[in-house]
């Protein structure tokens, strides 16, 4: 739909703009040449993780029993999740990598939890709550 010309523009429809008159539209570089695209690496990692979760849930099913309430819930959700996991997605190497990543994350979080517990044990004072005791002298020397 054409925009109405202002009374001071002096230019009719289809004529080039007069000096000092601005053209309508987005400035150069304001619009994207392409739209956002999903990260295929993250998507592949997510599908591998989903495959691992489906495998774990499938192995859990005999432990809880198909006739139990948990088993019924697993039976309802497993086919829905499994349709997103193509065959061969979960390989022993990818499972090992996922387990190693989870273990590393667990160790990192464990260290952070120890720091938080230490801070809470000191009355919640961040930074330690005091100067370390001075031993006097150089390392390896006995104090007199």
The 3-class secondary structure across the chain, one letter per residue, is CCCCCCCCCCCCCCCCCCCCCCCCCCCCCCCCCCCCCCCHHHHHHHHHHHHHHHHHHHHHHHHHCCCCHHHHHHHHHHHHHHCCCCCCCCCHHHHHHHHHHHHHHHHHHHHHHHHHHHHHHCCCCCCCCCCCCCCCCCCCCCCC
* Each residue's pLDDT tens digit, 61-85: 999 999 999 999 999 999 999 999 8
* Total-model pTM: 0.48
Interval 116-133: pLDDT, tens: 888 888 765 555 555 555
């Amino acid at each position: 739909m054409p925009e109405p010309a202002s009374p001071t523009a002096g230019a009719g429809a289809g004529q080039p703009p007069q000096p000092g008159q601005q053209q309508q539209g987005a400035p150069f570089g304001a619009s994207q040449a392409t739209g956002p695209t999903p990260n295929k690496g993250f998507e592949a990692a997510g599908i591998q993780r989903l495959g691992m979760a489906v495998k774990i849930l499938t192995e859990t099913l005999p432990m809880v029993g198909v006739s139990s309430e948990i088993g019924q819930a697993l039976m309802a959700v497993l086919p829905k999740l499994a349709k997103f996991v193509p065959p061969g997605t979960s390989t022993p190497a990818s499972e090992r990598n996922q387990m190693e990543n989870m273990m590393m994350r667990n160790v990192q979080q464990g260290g952070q939890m120890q720091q938080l517990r230490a801070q809470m044990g000191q009355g919640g004072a961040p930074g330690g709550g005091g100067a370390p005791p001075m031993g006097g002298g150089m390392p390896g020397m006995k104090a007199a």
